[in-house]
Structure 1
Amino acid sequence: MLNLSVLLEDGARSVPDKECLVFGDLRLNYALTDMIANQVANLLVARGVRPGDRVALASPNLPYFPFVYFGALKAGAVVVPLNVLLTPREIAYHLEDSGATALFAFTGTPELPLGERAFEAFQQVDTCETYIDLPAAAGATESAIDGAETLWKALDGQPGTFETVQANADDTAVIIYTSGTTGRPKGAELSHHNLMTNAIVAAELFNPHPDGRDVALTVLPLFHIFGQTVVLNASLYRHGTLVLMPRFDADEALKLMDKEGVTGFAGVPTMYWGLLNAVQSAEPGTYDLEKIAGEIVDACSGGSSLPGQLAEDFAKTFGVEIKEGYGLSETSPVVSFNNPRVRAKTGSIGLPVWGVEMKLIDPDWNDAEDVGEIAVRGHCVMKGYHNRPEANAEVIRNGWFRTGDIARRDEDGFYFIIDRSKDMIIRGGYNVYPREIEEVLMTHPEVSLAAVVGVPHETHGEEAKAFVIRGADSTLTEQELVDWAKERLAAYKYPRQVEFRTELPMTATGKILKRELT
């Protein structure tokens, strides 16, 4: 028997008075955080939620997220985290597809009217019977949404103790929806065993607690599996403190690092790029960089490939080498890790983590030698996509999950991502991998960030086009960058088109949204 909520419960038993959550001036210890989660569990049972029922949660990185996340798990329910940027139509789809019977949603702000969108979706789905508003005002009992009930009013009178439902290790704990870049999003069913084991593995790999200190800046969205496992669950396993940040802002992140003595930071590459830009463009003395760099002992990156130049620049500025990991929603997510303190190679996603196997395959599932699609087997692999037997048959065979990522493996067993198979550009019959071009462009002294996509071409089928953010005070022209890339890439690889932008579209998790680049 195993329930993922033991991560919070163990902290409440072992270190009840230690700070668990920090948000602004609000500081909650493990005992209080667990007590509120118990109240949520009692509320759900009182509203008729049974073990196995799905509970949807739409919240940015606020204390509400762990309250509801662990409260639902305690009640034996399955948590369905929702991206806070979804439209009413998209939220309704997730509720219907998952079969959610309850929805907890943050009221939002004028800039992010999440509650209005969520409540509109809730009213469209007959099978979802309970809507709970997570209000913007602390302790609010009256909802700003007509017809909605706030969490604090609903919790009034609910006991602060609860007998956690003992689930089977293979029972589904969380359904994480994929981004849906190819067709409608699919829900990856992750078990208590998947998530618990992966959190423990991540806690050992990403371990920011010198002399007992363990303070993680929680800026990766907790509705995404990267943030859930590597930050939330792994930190709770270590009895660490989570400093919650609802939305990434490089300036605010640096200030929080200074104020709270952050020892660990996990982010996607664009977040590291943002931190570097903030430091490099700031007036001298804006940040106590010596203090910030002195506190941070661990930094890891995932979600998308980390450009080598970015990793090198960050290490020079902050004195910390970024550990690069690799994983997917379907793998809980950690599959491999590249740890500079143990055994690492620049540009690699490293070696498989404990209990996980990796190999390369061709389109017909045959083993490939040096280059192929990554396939994964082990404790991290999902149970399958929710109600998608055909899709499961396509991606899972004999316990192996095919990832869609193309990689090469060197003589030491290290894996190097070449690109997503779906992002690959076919130019005149040649395979062109955008990541290779991006890595080269990022080494140009006047290029700050680059993203490469394929665009239609009359004779070649596709052509590589680069979208670039220039560095401060740069006068670089499109043709100059094309000529520069031509000298460093094969004739069929270098981008013939360059477009300069002041910003690039990004997902809520900070990954560049290439499908919006044309």
Structure 2
Amino acid sequence: MLNLSVLLEDSARRYPSRDALVLGDTRISYAELDSRSNQVANLLIEHGIEPGDTVAMSFPNVPEFPIVYYGILKAGAVVVPLNIMLKGREIAYHLEDSGAKAYICFEGGPDLPIGEFGRAGFESATQCRVMFVAGHEPGTGTGTGDVSGLEAALAETSDAFSTVVRAPQDIAVILYTSGTTGKPKGAQLSHSNMVMNAVTSNRLFDSNPIRHDTYLVTLPLFHSFGQTVTMNAGLSVGGTLVLLPRFEARAALRLMTDEGITVFAGVPTMYWGLLSALDESVDVDRIAATMRRAISGGAALPVEILTQFSERFGVQILEGYGLSETSPLALFSDPEREPRPGSIGVPVWGIEARLVDTEWNTVTDLDTVGEIAVRGHNVMSGYLGRPEATAEVMRDGWLRTGDLARRDSDGFYYIVDRAKDLIVRGGFNVYPREIEEVLITHAAVSLAAVIGVPHQTHGEEVKAFVILEPGKQVEEAELIAWCRDQMAVYKYPRSIEFTTVLPMTATGKILKRELATKAGRR
């Protein structure tokens, strides 16, 4: 028997007075976190939630996220963490698709009215029976009688609870994909999937209770990366999680200094932001003195950013790879071997990986591009209610990821690009990441994103969006000419658009589909 909440409960027994969560001046101990999660579990049971029922939640990186998350698990229910950027119609879809019986969300504020959108979604969901809002004020409900303030409801609830035991293969969490190619699908992850991935993370990062790491948690906890690699993994070894609800580079650098951060996990754009925010006011030496692990995932990390970060902070960024369907950790830099810039590493403990072609045949030739497929304890049970979609990506325990890569003679994998981002120009395959890697080595270029746009004779043409370094200038024709000198004639961008921002997801991934729409691609 197994319940993912054991990760919190074990640390609460061993280190009850140790800080589990920090947000500003608020510090919550392990004992308090566990007790408040017990209250949430009792509240759900009182409202008819049974083992196996799904409960959705919408929270930024605030203490209520882990409190509610583990409370749902303790009750034996399935957690459905929702992206806090969703609007009412989208929330209703997720509540209906997941079959959520209850919904707990954050009130938010004028800049992000999570509660307002949540209530609109709840009103449109036919199966969801009850909703609780953290920060909810009396008299601001929908008039349905089914929306209650979370704090008031918990005030009269016991903080003693006996966790509902579950089988290892029972579903613990449903993580929804971004839905870039259709409606979002719910990846079903078991208690075993999630526990094993947290344990594997700690094995990789050499994390243990005696070391007492302090994590800066700015990756959205509703996303698999932050949820597993920082929250579940960190709490399982008695770590202290310093929460930063919205990534802002200067605020992150201040917390790294003030809280003595030892572990930071982020996506490439966050590392780019940290480097861009450095000035004489930042005590880089102090940050470097405590930082022992810097972890990157979620998207391919440009080698130039990796190199610059190592030079400034004296910390080698370890790059990993995974997706929601793999809990998420699947491949990672081998801790026993020197990191290889540009590589996502090797399969993590207990996981197999191979490259396949469109017919699932194994690609055996070294340095030949194929699609990554993985098998092991991290692979989801399938997409909720979508057997056809599951069959498309899963076969004999193997999951094909949609990411293109090559493998060297030592077994290290190198992401080439997303299969759907591949540009075919005049019959030649062009991988956007390769072009982006070259572009950011130019002295005037800070960040770049490359897409394919329709072309009458070539099928697709290469287009780049570029953010310039502060105070630097370069003309489009000049930069195109420079690119032409750096790469094969069919690869270099024929048009470059300068911009000050690139559209990104809540997790910091560049939204290339929005760039494609902007460029007129359909």
Same fold (TM over 0.5): yes
Query: Which residue of 1 is the match for residue 469 of structure 2?
Result: 471
Q: State the shift of 1:237 in Å.
A: 1.3
Report how far residue 162 of structure 1 moved. Answer: 0.6
Pair 1:11–1:211, CA change in 2 (3 A): closer
**Is the 1:133–1:143 Cα contact (8 Å) retained in structure 2?**
no
Q: Deviations over 1:286-339 (max 9, x none)?
A: 222211111111100000000000000001111100000000100000001114
Q: Which residue of 2 aligns with 1:374?
A: 372
2-structure distance, mates of 1:230, 1:372: 27
Map of 2:228 onto structure 1: 229
- What does residue 485 of structure 2 align with? 487
Name the residue aligned to 2:256: 257
Note if 1:326 corresponds to 2:321. yes
Q: Distance in 2 between matches of 1:14 and 1:213?
A: 13
Counterparts of residues 447-462 of structure 1 (less than 5 Å): 447-462=445-460
Residue 472 of structure 1, CA deviation: 1.1
Q: Which moved more, 1:333-342 or 1:499-508?
A: 333-342
1:340 deviates by: 6.2
Whether 1:304 and 2:279 are equivalent positions in the alignment is no
Shift of 1:344: 2.5
* Alignment partner, residue 498 of structure 1: 496
Aligned to 1:363: 358
Q: How does 1:141-290 map to 2 (within 5 A)?
A: 142=138, 144-147=140-143, 148-207=147-206, 212-279=211-278, 282=279, 284=280, 286-290=281-285
Match of 1:106 in 2: 106
Any conservation in 2 of the 1:44–1:72 contact (CA below 8 Å)? Answer: yes
Q: Which amino acid aligns with 2:138?
A: E
Partner residue in 2 for 1:126: 126
For 1:316, the equivalent position in structure 2 comes to 311
Residue in structure 1 matched with residue 52 of structure 2 by the alignment: 52
Is structure 2 residue 512 aligned with structure 1 residue 514?
Answer: yes
Quote the Cα distance in structure 2 between the aligned partners of 1:252 and 1:320: 20
Q: Measured at CA, do residues 228 and 403 of structure 1 come closer, stay the same or move farther in structure 2, by a change above 3 Å? A: same
Q: In structure 1, what is the equivalent of residue 92 of structure 2? A: 92
Cα distance in 2 for residues equivalent to 1:358 and 1:52: 31
Structure 1: distance between partners of 2:93 and 2:500 = 34
Q: Does 1:412 align with 2:434?
A: no
Alignment CA distance shift 1:348-1:513 (3 Å)? same
Amino acid at match of 2:125: V
Give 3-state SS (helix, strand or coil) of 1:404's partner. Answer: strand
User: 1:375-395: per-residue Cα shift (whole Å, max 9, x none)?
Assistant: 000000000000000011111
Structure 1 residue 134, shift from structure 2 partner: 1.3
The SS at the match of 2:343 is coil
Match of 1:425 among 411, 423, 426: 423
How far the C-alpha of 1:95 sits from its partner, in A, is 0.5
Distance 1:145 1:259, change over 3 A: farther
- Count of paired positions: 510
- Deviation by residue 1:364-422 (Cα, 9 ceiling, x = unmatched): 01111232101000000000000000011111000000001110011111100100000
Which residue of the partner structure matches residue 353 of structure 1? 348
Which of residues 393, 396, 402 is equivalent to 1:395?
393
Residue pairs, 1:20-39, within 5 angstroms: 20-39=20-39
Is the contact between residue 212 and residue 238 of structure 2 (CA under 8 Å) also seen in structure 1? no
Write the deviation string for residues 4-38 of structure 1: whole angstroms up to 9, x where unpaired. Answer: 00011001101000000001111010000000000
How far is the alpha carbon of 1:480 from its aligned partner? 1.1
Tell me which moved more, 348-357 or 254-263: 254-263
Give the whole-Å Cα distance in 2 for the aligned partners of 1:354 and 1:469: 38
Q: Which one-letter code corresponds to 1:168 in the other structure?
A: A
Q: Which residue of 2 aligns with 1:446?
A: 444
Q: For residue 287 of structure 1, what is the amino acid of its counterpart?
A: V
Name structure 2 gaps, 5 residues minimum: none
Q: Distance in 1 between matches of 2:55 and 2:129?
A: 11
Unaligned runs of 5+ in 1: none
In the alignment, is the contact (CA less than 8 A) between 2:322 and 2:329 conserved in 1? yes
Read off the aligned partner of 1:324 and give its amino acid letter: E
Deviation at 1:150, TM superposition (A): 1.2
TM-score by length of 1: 0.97
User: How far apart in 1 are the matches of 2:37 and 2:330?
Assistant: 30
CA distance in 2, matches of 1:310, 1:177: 29
1:208 touches 1:215 (CA, 8 Å); kept in 2? no
Letter of the aligned partner of 2:236 in structure 1? Y
- Which secondary structure does the structure 2 equivalent of 1:200 belong to? helix
Question: By how many angstroms is 1:477 displaced?
Answer: 1.1
- Distance in 2, matches of 1:208 and 1:465, equals 43
Cross-structure match for 2:116: 116
8 Å Cα contact 1:324-1:339 kept in structure 2: no
- Structure 1 distance, partners of 2:202, 2:139, is 38
Q: Which moved more, 1:481-490 or 1:143-152?
A: 143-152
> 1:341: how far off?
6.0
Partners of 1:345 and 1:7 lie apart in 2 by: 32
Deviation at 1:83, TM superposition (A): 0.3
Please provide the CA RMSD for this pair: 1.3
Amino acid at match of 1:162: F
Amino acid in structure 2 at the alignment position of 1:87 = K
Name the CA distance, whole Å, in 2 between partners of 1:98 and 1:209: 35
Q: Partners of 2:492 and 2:35 in 1: how far apart?
A: 58
Q: 1:97 to 1:343 in 2, by over 3 A?
A: same
Q: Kindly provide the amino acid, as one letter, of the partner of residue 434 in structure 1.
A: P
1:488 to partner: Cα distance:
1.1
Counterpart amino acid of 2:422?
A: M
Alpha-carbon separation, structure 2, partners of 1:144 and 1:498: 49
Report the identity percentage. Answer: 58
Distance 1:394 1:146, change over 3 A: closer
Bigger shift: residues 201-210 or 474-483? 201-210
Judge conservation of contact 1:301–1:322 (CA < 8 Å) in 2: yes
- The answer as to whether partners of 1:115 and 1:145 remain within 8 angstroms in 2 is no
> In the aligned structure 2, how far is the partner of 1:90 from the partner of 1:212?
42
Give the distance between the partners of 1:425 and 1:230, measured in 2 at CA: 32
- Structure 2 Cα separation of the partners of residues 250 and 327 of structure 1: 24
